[in-house]
Amino acid sequence: MLDRFIFAACLLGCSTPALAQQQVAPQGLPEPVRNAAEWMIDQSDPAVRAAGLVVLDADALHHRTRLITDLVRETTDGAAMLWLAHSCAVAEIVQECLTAGLDDAVLEFDGGNLFARLPLHPPERISTLSLESDRESIYYFSLVSAWYDALAQNEPDGANPHERFVQAHAIASAWALPALFPLIGVCTDPAADLGTIGACRRVGQSMTDRREAMLSMILGEALQGRTGSSAPSATESPWRSRAECQSRGLEPVLRSMNEQQMRDALEMFERRGELETWGHLAELHGVDCPASPAN
């Protein structure tokens, strides 16, 4: 399984240029990823099209300004609006996206999802944005699922569903750091005021409690630690070591899954969250890992 600790290590050490390199020009993408992205962008579903945009660099996205703003006007899907917001930021067309109604749509249709609104506003507004938000979701496994389906379009017959799952997971992970950078930047700023520190604590606690994805939980704990809360440090997170144990133990199970079983597992990750899904699958398949006192 992918090493999520790269994410944790990068929280305090990655610069903006390093994160920006996660998005690459279309010609620099591996051919299967490039073909899948082109297929996604050509579909009629706005969410699929928005998911296809996340691997493109600023120039490629800027050339698609009209497409992006049209998608903003067409969709009320929370995941799609999140992916579009980050594409707007990468392409430096935030004003065009605001004019198209993206921020208003996030407020109306997705509880003001903080991660969709942060790229559209100055970072110093995090305190206000967090108070206006009823949601802090990165829609991580929605992106994994969208790319899992897209990568299947050009696969040879008999391809292993597990290999496609790993590819889709890698794409989502590569997107996550740049997508989360606005929050990381403002919350780790030594000059942050008390309002910002309080907002970061609230957001970090919410991300940890939601248990949507291990990446967001790791970030949630890191934010609480950086702002001086009593959240456990990386070495004091029993849930993390248990989940890592479960994911490693389930590797042979994932490798043996057929297409329908893998799709069922992805649906569970998306609906129930990563931590609960690893626990359920571990119990189902007899993978024994130490219990987490925190749970």
Q: Give mean pLDDT, residues 140-146.
A: 96
pLDDT digits (tens, 9 = 90+) for 189-239: 888 888 888 888 888 888 888 888 888 888 888 877 755 444 444 445 778
Domain total of the chain: 2
Assigned domain for 87 exists: yes
Q: Do 144 and 168 form a contact (C-beta atoms < 8 A)?
A: yes
Q: Report the predicted TM-score, pTM, of the whole model to 2 decimal places.
A: 0.84
7: pLDDT strictly greater than 50: no
Predicted confidence at residue 81, as pLDDT, reads: 98
> Alpha carbon of 217 to those of 31, 79, 180, 186, 201: distances in Å?
32, 18, 12, 18, 13
Assigned domain for 290 exists: no
**Which residue do the tokens 């699958």 mark?**
281
Whether 241 and 228 map to the same domain: the answer is: no
Domain containing residue 179: 5-235
Predicted confidence at residue 294, as pLDDT, reads: 46
Say which residues have a Cβ less than 8 Å from residue 201's Cβ, sequence separation at least 6: 223, 224, 227, 229
Predicted confidence at residue 201, as pLDDT, reads: 87
> Alpha carbon of 105 to those of 14, 76, 97, 113, 116: distances in Å?
31, 7, 11, 10, 10
d(CA 254, CA 275): 16
Q: Predicted confidence band at 295 (pLDDT cuts at 50, 70, 90)?
A: very low
Whether 270 and 176 map to the same domain: the answer is: no
What is the average pLDDT score of the chain? Answer: 84
Whether 57 and 194 map to the same domain: the answer is: yes
Assigned domain for 251 exists: yes
Whether 256 and 160 map to the same domain: the answer is: no
Assigned domain for 295 exists: no
Assigned domain for 293 exists: no
Whether 279 and 194 map to the same domain: the answer is: no
Whether 231 and 252 map to the same domain: the answer is: no
14: pLDDT strictly greater than 60: no
> How many helices (H) and strands (E) are present in the chain, helices listed first?
19, 0
8: pLDDT strictly greater than 70: no
